[in-house]
A and B are shown apart, each in its own frame.
Chain A
Amino acid sequence: MRSISTSIEANEAYLSEQFNRCSDIILRSFALKDDTVMLLIYLDGMTHMQGVEDNVLKPLLFGGLPQGLDRMQSLAETLRREWLPMTNIKTDESMEELVHHILLGGLGILVEGEASALIAQVQGYETRGIQEPLKESTLRGSKEGFVESIRTNMTMIRRRIVHRQLKMESYTIGKYTQTAVVLAYMEGIADENVLTEVRKRLDGIETDGIIDSAYIEEWIENNSFSIFPQIQNTERPDIVAASLLEGKVALLTNGTPFALLLPVTFWSGLQSADDYFERFVFVVLTRFIRYIMTFISFALPAIYVALSTFHPEMIPSNLMIGIATARENSPFPTVIEVFLMMIVFDSLQEAGVHLPNQLGPVVSIIGALVIGQAAVEAGIISTPIIIVISLTGIATYTIPRYSATLPFRIVRYLMLFISGWLGFVGFAFGMMFLLIHLVMLESFGTPYLSPVAPFDGKRIKDLIIRYPVWVKNGRVKKGRAR
């Protein structure tokens, strides 16, 4: 640990060596009227230059030190206390600290003959403005979405929960990225055990860099090998605020608009912010549809294969004959046909995500015309399978959170294979393994399937019927993590 020297030449030499070949570093030394040499050091583009010029350079160069003010023991201290009109400013003797703050976009001021540096937080870099969240749009409710700057994100939560119990603990994670991470929670509402566990896991992260909150998610989640997400991500400050009030814990990460929420359950992935913004009777209907569609999204291809190739007697006669008619000349077995179409569907999705916007329609045309219609007309794929796959695809996107759809897209394949091999027996096996896995899963001490398993009659009501808000308010339990 090197401390700052009293010699400004030595300090300048050291800093120049530290920032060797950093083309954006600026070391600007100048002399005051009384020949005191000062050194400003900052990264170009990271600081608010106008402020630096107005508040530091101009007064010092043109005005010099105020009249009648003698050189005190520490010029830096004087500047900090009386001179510079900035709020976030401090002095420090450590060179490491100085370098760190310069890297963060601070301004360092060194004075000849003094062994401490003045560090001013004058960060001023270009950031994206607050925009409507694209991934989680709602029909009603706030149009604000998180941005990449963690400070802005914190203010968005602060503005929603105006209470001193809202705590925001700061962490710095990543050897090279030094990413700021903030642990936000409502003191007295959030579960202390969860908080202790989260703090422990955050402290345990040893990594070179955190580029996105997803990195943190993978570091701290309970079971990394599960296909189900055990931490929810959101770019909506209103969801974060609501979750904090429910007793959840939020993690904000600098550099990403996605905040993490934990602990979560299986069901939170199936709930949308809109559920709480629309009239509750309607929400009962949409939730009902969503639950059915969730089942369809992973089970329909498997059920279709199991029914039509293993248990044709279970399909109503007219429908079965319809299916048989459509499949009369199909060259592949049903299970292979469904598998092919699922691959095609998933690749269309993948292509759609990566394509530049202008090429989007191309994929739709190729997908709809070539793969859909032409394959059917050529007799390679039968119509019922197109219907099954399309319905499955639509069902997948009735799940409101994108990351909650992913496990079902994987389970869909597993279910298809096992049902294509063993029929409904296989389907039952698949469901059994899925449920076993789900009941074993935990998110920071909360069973993943709760409140269904373990059963909690009071909280299960919110799963099926969303009661009016005033009913729920009477029921929020203190200190209970959901």
Chain B
Amino acid sequence: MIRLALAVVVVIVLTLSASGCSDFVEPNQLAFVMASGLDHAENGMIEISHQIVIPSQLKKGSPGKSDSYFVMSAKGKDIFDAQQKIQRKLSRRMLTSHRILLLVGEEFMKHNQVSVMFDKLGRDPANNLRDAIVMVRGGSAKDILMLTHPMEYLSSVAAGKELQINGMKSFSSRKLVIDSLAEGSRPIIPFFQIEKIELSRAKKSPVAVLSGFAVLDKQLKVKGYLSDAEGAKALWMIGRGSSDGITIPWKDGNGALSFRMTHMNRRIHVLRGQDPKRVELTVAAQVYLLENTASLDMSEVDTMVMAQHYLNDYVQKDLQGTFDKMQRWGPDVFGIGEYLHRKDPAWWRSQKNDWDENFKKLDVTVKAKIQLRSSGIIGDQLK
């Protein structure tokens, strides 16, 4: 009996494997899509661009003259349709699971229901949802995909690393989906702009630069843009910043102090009282003094305490300004709604339907709790 069963198993395995009944795909039959771009096209179509690596160009010793990638794009009724059209032009099967960057054009955001995009993102298992999602302002996503990067072999790899090195890891498409589906928070995504950067005397090349953040509403329509500096402050208040640097001018324009910030976080706290709620947003950080052009003798404890106080006051005022500006736009990117939802579900029920408007009326004060941990390795300035 056992012998018969064994024989049957062996025969099945041998026939199936020997006859090639296997569906493996060799790596050289795959086209690795490292970045994709979504652009608006005429007549209700969308344009998909895929940045695909050419593995043979990456081989050591091969002439580095030609690019190690190419961009293929096609227009279609939806993402899949466009993707199929690209596939037909390719000799290899596209593999989108390794994508690290998803670019969305500004025009696309304006004209399309972005839920179109989300359906494909969430439904198709070939999306790993870990790719960074970035908007392109003043240009098309396709243009950025075609750019070369002076250092990295792919502009998408560069973008991924750029986000990571600047402490902004949490802009994945997964995060965007969650933010836009949650009732009490709204998404915020970084955007790229093409800048001409002079790399050397002879060479001036356009490079995609992370130049700010876009605040989106529930329908993923852009409600306002934040510059890079404002964005950093906003991220701190949202709770997504982890480390950053800050420079504050000293009293009466006497030089400036620069700090490195670590352990950045924020806390939301609701103050007693009825509608409209009063909310206190506390940001905290540990800072290390890195540069002191304000002629302060940091070896004095009193000076350090004073500097810390001044820093707290300054940051508080600064962040409050940014917060007020963003509050006027409406979308609650800070997730205060989520917090209030948990704190007072009954109250939230009356608020959630028009949260963007209600958020504008909310009384929010920003408090800073910054600790000065170190004044560097010299106390007084070197004279």
Contact = CB atoms under 8 A, between A and B. Distances in A.
A328 B28 contact: yes
Looking at chain A's contact residues, is the secondary structure mostly helix, strand, loop, or mixed? helix
B26 A333 contact: yes
A342 interface: no
Contacts of B58: 321, 325
Contacts of B27: 308-309, 312, 320, 323-324, 327, 334
B359 interface: no
Contacts of B98: 312-313, 317, 320-321
Given A313-B98, A317-B34, A317-B100, A420 B22 contact: yes
Contact of B30 (A312, A333, A335, A422): A312
A312 B95 contact: yes
A416 to B, nearest CB: 11
A417 interface: yes
Interface in B65-102: 95, 97-98, 100
Given A321-B55, A325-B58, A422 B100 contact: no
Nearest to A311: B97
B59 A324 contact: no
Interface in B25-41: 25-28, 30, 32, 34
A229 interface: no
B56 interface: yes
A417 B12 CA distance: 13
B11 to A, nearest CB: 14
B24 A333 contact: yes
A91 interface: no
A89 interface: no
Nearest to B125: A313
Contacts, number: 74
A136 to B, nearest CB: 34
A317 B33 CA distance: 10
Contact of A328 (B16, B34, B56, B100): B56
A421 interface: yes
B248 to A, nearest CB: 39
B114 interface: no
A418 interface: yes
Contact of B28 (A320, A327, A418, A421): A327
B55 A421 contact: no
A345 interface: no
B362 interface: no
Among B25, B56, B59, chain A packs the most CB atoms within 10 A around the CB of B25
Given A308-B27, A312-B97, A321-B53, 11 more contacts: A309-B24, A312-B25, A312-B27, A313-B126, A313-B128, A317-B34, A324-B27, A325-B56, A326-B59, A327-B26, A327-B28
Interface of B: 13, 16-17, 21-28, 30, 32, 34, 53, 55-56, 58-59, 95, 97-98, 100, 126, 128
Interface of A: 305, 308-310, 312-313, 317, 320-321, 323-330, 333-335, 417-418, 420-423
